[in-house]
């Protein structure tokens, strides 16, 4: 089954074609980073308008890349939530309309299920069950995954997501949007141990996260420095170490609580190299294994939506003709396909 995937939940237009027998056939991505940079963050109306401009040309590019015609597509998967409602409506309307015009089934996909299943696109995918850390600009969650659609929420952020904390702290440092990757790059030049940030909510039981306090701690620390490039690099290093240590501690607890040794890490922050190294070292120390998507599939992309949608379409699941979007859509509301 060949499935066209459409991802338009925020500021990236992602299109892909996934074949259930032959794997990923095409992958196209357009980022709106330059569009939003002048505003220091995503402007929802501008994001929606740009998705309108880019989605259909990218679909045609994906068909050309895969050497396919529209008549070769057997199903359409589109992100229905969570995300920006206007952006979601663009992809949902286009996806549902194409499915109707092509007379093929359509499926509404949960954005975070797409991220969670992104490592399945790799040559050595994880086997169920596993614990997943979903860590991005909008979400920080620990989930026990027993199968597709079989999700148990173990813990989540009670305020800022980890990626959001990265971006806000980067803004305090005067770094351009998107700040998270720039802060991580600056942290590579920071000196270890100059500053010590707290590891929030690790001094008590549980698997929930809180990162908003780190932003305040960073603001106070920045104000106490001379503002030099090295001083800011030292702050970036201490901030990143605090976030990564917190995530590792919580992952350790989640694996201990569930008795599992397989860990999947997905979402934009999963591209952070320091986080990858620390989680690799930790899982190796307990005889476990950690799985990441390739870097290009850590951020929003159509490939993860095409894959997730294909699993549900093959099982016989379908979305009706009514177009519905879910700006807020708890992952645990999903059920197993079939």
- Strands 140-147 and 150-156 turn out to be antiparallel
CA dist 103 to 3, 23, 76, 303, Å? 13, 23, 10, 22
CA dist 308 to 108, 146, 147, 275, Å? 10, 15, 12, 25
Token pair listed for 173: 């440092």
User: What pTM does this model have?
Assistant: 0.96
Other CB atoms within 10 A of residue 224 CB: 10
What is the model's pLDDT at position 338? Answer: 76
Close Cβ partners of 300 (under 8 Å, ≥ 6 residues apart): 7, 9, 10, 11, 12, 14, 111, 268
Strands across the sheet containing 130-135: 150-156, 140-147, 130-135, 262-266, 289-291
- Residues at the annotated binding site? 111, 115, 134-138, 167, 180, 272, 300
pLDDT digits (tens, 9 = 90+) for 182-229: 999 999 999 999 999 999 999 999 999 999 999 999 999 999 999 999
Other CB atoms within 10 A of residue 325 CB: 23
Is the bond preceding 224 in cis, omega lying within 30 degrees of 0? no
Name the CATH architecture for the domain at 128-292.
2-Layer Sandwich (3.30)
Name the CATH architecture for the domain at 2-117+297-333.
2-Layer Sandwich (3.30)
Which segments of the chain belong to CATH 3.30.420.40? 2-117+297-333, 128-292
Write out the DSSP string of 294-334: -GGGTSS-HHHHHHHHHHHHHTT----SS----SS--GGG-
Which residues in the chain land under pLDDT 70?
none
- Residues at the annotated binding site for Fe cation? 111, 115, 300
Helices 162-172 and 229-258, interaxial angle, to 10°?
170
What is the model's pLDDT at position 326? Answer: 97
- Residues at the annotated binding site for substrate? 134-138, 167, 180, 272
Return the ∠ at Cα 87 (arms to 103 and 291), rounded to 5°. 85
Close Cβ partners of 239 (under 8 Å, ≥ 6 residues apart): 169, 183, 187, 197, 214, 218
């Amino acid at each position: 089954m060949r499935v066209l995937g459409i991802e338009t939940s925020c500021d990236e237009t992602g299109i892909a074609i996934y074949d259930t027998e032959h794997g990923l056939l095409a992958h196209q991505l357009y980022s709106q980073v330059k569009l939003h940079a002048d505003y220091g963050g995503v402007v929802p109306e501008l994001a929606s308008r740009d998705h309108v401009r880019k989605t259909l040309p990218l679909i045609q590019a994906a068909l050309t890349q895969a050497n396919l015609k529209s008549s070769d597509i057997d199903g359409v998967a589109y992100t229905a939530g969570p995300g920006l409602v206007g952006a979601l409506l663009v992809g949902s309307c286009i996806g549902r309309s194409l499915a109707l015009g092509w007379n093929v089934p359509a499926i509404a996909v949960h954005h975070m299920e797409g991220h969670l299943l992104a490592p399945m696109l790799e040559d050595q995918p994880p086997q169920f069950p596993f614990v997943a850390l979903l860590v991005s600009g909008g979400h920080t969650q620990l989930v026990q995954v027993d199968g597709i659609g079989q999700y148990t929420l173990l813990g989540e952020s009670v305020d800022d997501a980890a990626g959001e904390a990265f971006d806000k702290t980067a803004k305090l440092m005067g770094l351009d949007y998107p700040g998270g990757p720039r802060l991580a790059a600056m942290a590579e030049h920071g000196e270890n141990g100059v500053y010590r940030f707290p590891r929030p909510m690790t001094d008590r039981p549980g698997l929930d996260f809180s990162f908003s306090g780190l932003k305040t701690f960073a603001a106070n620390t920045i104000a106490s420095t001379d503002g030099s490039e090295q001083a800011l690099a030292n702050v970036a290093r201490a901030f990143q170490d605090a976030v990564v240590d917190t995530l590792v501690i919580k992952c350790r607890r989640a694996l201990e609580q569930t008795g599992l040794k397989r860990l999947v890490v997905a979402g934009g922050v999963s591209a952070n190299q320091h986080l990858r190294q620390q989680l690799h070292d930790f899982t190796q120390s307990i005889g476990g294994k950690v799985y990441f998507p390739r870097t290009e599939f850590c951020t929003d992309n159509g490939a993860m939506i095409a894959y997730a949608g294909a699993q549900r379409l093959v099982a016989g699941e379908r979305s009706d003709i009514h177009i519905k979007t879910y700006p807020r859509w708890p992952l645990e509301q999903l059920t197993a396909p079939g």
